[in-house]
C-alpha cells in the first residue's frame, strides 16, 4: 500500500510539474523569439527589452534543468547518485535560479529609475545613465550567478566525496554529524542572495510607490493632469504584481532550503509547484505589460 501510494504521488507530482514546465517553456520561448525577431528587423532593442530577452532566455533553461532534476529526484533518484551528476545538476540549477533572481531584480530597478521622479543628484545621474548601465548590470548578474553555481558545485562535491556517506535511497545523506552543518555554507550563500534580491525588489517598489504618491499630490495641488501619471500607475501595477509573486517565490525558495535534506516531505512538492508557477505567471504579466509582446501574442491567438 505504501509503495502504491508513493508511486501515485510520484506520477501526480511529475504530471503537475511537467504541465507547468511546458507552459513556462512556451511562454518564455515566445518572449525570446519575438524580441530576437524585433532585434533583427530593427537592428536594436531598448534597455527594458534587453532585460526581458535575457530573462526569458534564463527562465527557459532554468525550467529545462529544473524539470530534469525534479524528474530524476522523484522517479529515478539512483541516477543522481552517479558521480558527479548531482553536483553538475545542482550547480547549473543554482546558476539559473540566481540569474532569474538578479535579472528580475534588475528589471524592477530599471523601472524604478526610469519612471520615478526624485530631485536627488545621484538619482538624476542614474536616470540619465541607466541605458548605459543596463548591459553592465546584466553582465554583473550573469558573472555573479556563475560564481554562485561554481561555489554550490564545489560545496556539494566536497560534502559528498569527503564528509558524507551518500546513499541513493530517496537522495538521502547519512552522517554522524548533522547534514545541514555540511551544507550550511551553501544554504547561507543562496539564502543571502535570495534576501538581497528580495530587498532590492521591495526597495524599488517602495520608491516607485512614494514617487507615485508625491506626483499625484502635486498634480492635485496644481489641478493638472499629466501623462506621466499613467506611466507611474502602469509601472506600479507591474511591480506590485511582481512583488506579490516574488514574495511567494522567496518564501518557497527559503522553505526549499529548509527542507532540502528531508526525504519525501510534502513541503518539497508544494514548493516545487510554486517555484514552477512563478516563471509562468510573471512572464505572462511581463507580456501584457509590453505593447510589442502583447500585440504579437493577441495576433497569434
User: Per DSSP, which regions of the chain are E strands?
Assistant: 165-167, 172-174
Q: How many other C-beta atoms can be found within 10 angstroms of the C-beta atom of residue 163?
A: 15
Apex CA 105: angle with CA 68 and CA 34, to 5°? 65
- Per-residue pLDDT, 67: 87
Written as tens digits, the pLDDT of the chain (301 aa) is: 544 555 666 777 778 888 888 998 999 999 999 999 988 888 888 888 889 999 999 999 999 998 888 888 777 777 777 777 778 888 898 899 889 888 988 888 888 888 777 787 888 888 888 888 889 989 998 999 999 889 888 887 777 766 555 554 444 444 434 445 556 677 777 778 778 888 888 888 788 778 777 766 666 565 555 555 565 566 666 667 777 777 777 777 777 766 655 545 566 667 777 777 878 888 888 888 788 888 888 888 7
- Per-residue pLDDT, 31: 92
| Domains of the chain, earliest start first | 1-300 (1.20.1070.10)
- Per-residue pLDDT, 115: 78
- Per-residue pLDDT, 205: 79
Whether pTM > 0.75 for this model: the answer is yes
User: SS3 letters for 164-211?
Assistant: CEEECCCCEEECCCCHHHHCHHHHHHHHHHHHHHHHHHHHHHHHHHHH
Amino acid at each position: 500500500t505504501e509503495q502504491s501510494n508513493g508511486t501515485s504521488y510520484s506520477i501526480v507530482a511529475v504530471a503537475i510539474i511537467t504541465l507547468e514546465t511546458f507552459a513556462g517553456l512556451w511562454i518564455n520561448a515566445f518572449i525570446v523569439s519575438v524580441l530576437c525577431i524585433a532585434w533583427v528587423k530593427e537592428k536594436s532593442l531598448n534597455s527594458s527589452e534587453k532585460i526581458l530577452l535575457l530573462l526569458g532566455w534564463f527562465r527557459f533553461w532554468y525550467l529545462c534543468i529544473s524539470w530534469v532534476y525534479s524528474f530524476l529526484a522523484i522517479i529515478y533518484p539512483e541516477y543522481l547518485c552517479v558521480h558527479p551528476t548531482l553536483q553538475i545538476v545542482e550547480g547549473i540549477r543554482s546558476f539559473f535560479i540566481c540569474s532569474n533572481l538578479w535579472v528580475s531584480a534588475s528589471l524592477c530597478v530599471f523601472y524604478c529609475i526610469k519612471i520615478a521622479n526624485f530631485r536627488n543628484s545621484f538619482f538624476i545621474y542614474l536616470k540619465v545613465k541607466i541605458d548605459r548601465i543596463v548591459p553592465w548590470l546584466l553582465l554583473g548578474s550573469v558573472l555573479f550567478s556563475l560564481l554562485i553555481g561554481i561555489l554550490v558545485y564545489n560545496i556539494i562535491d566536497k560534502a559528498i566525496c569527503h564528509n558524507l556517506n551518500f546513499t541513493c535511497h530517496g537522495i538521502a545523506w547519512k552522517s554522524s554529524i548533522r547534514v545541514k552543518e555540511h551544507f550550511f555554507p551553501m544554504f547561507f550563500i543562496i539564502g543571502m542572495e535570495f534576501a538581497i534580491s528580495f530587498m532590492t525588489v521591495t526597495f524599488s517598489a517602495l520608491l516607485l510607490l512614494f514617487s507615485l504618491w508625491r506626483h499625484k499630490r502635486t498634480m492635485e495641488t496644481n489641478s493638472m493632469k499629466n501623462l506621466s501619471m499613467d506611466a507611474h500607475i502602469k509601472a506600479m501595477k507591474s511591480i506590485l504584481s511582481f512583488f506579490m509573486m516574488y514574495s511567494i517565490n522567496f518564501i518557497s525558495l527559503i522553505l526549499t532550503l529548509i527542507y532540502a535534506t528531508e526525504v519525501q516531505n510534502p513541503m518539497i512538492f508544494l514548493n516545487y509547484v510554486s517555484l514552477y508557477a512563478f516563471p509562468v505567471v510573471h512572464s505572462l504579466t511581463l507580456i501584457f505589460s509590453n505593447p510589442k509582446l502583447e500585440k504579437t501574442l493577441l495576433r497569434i491567438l
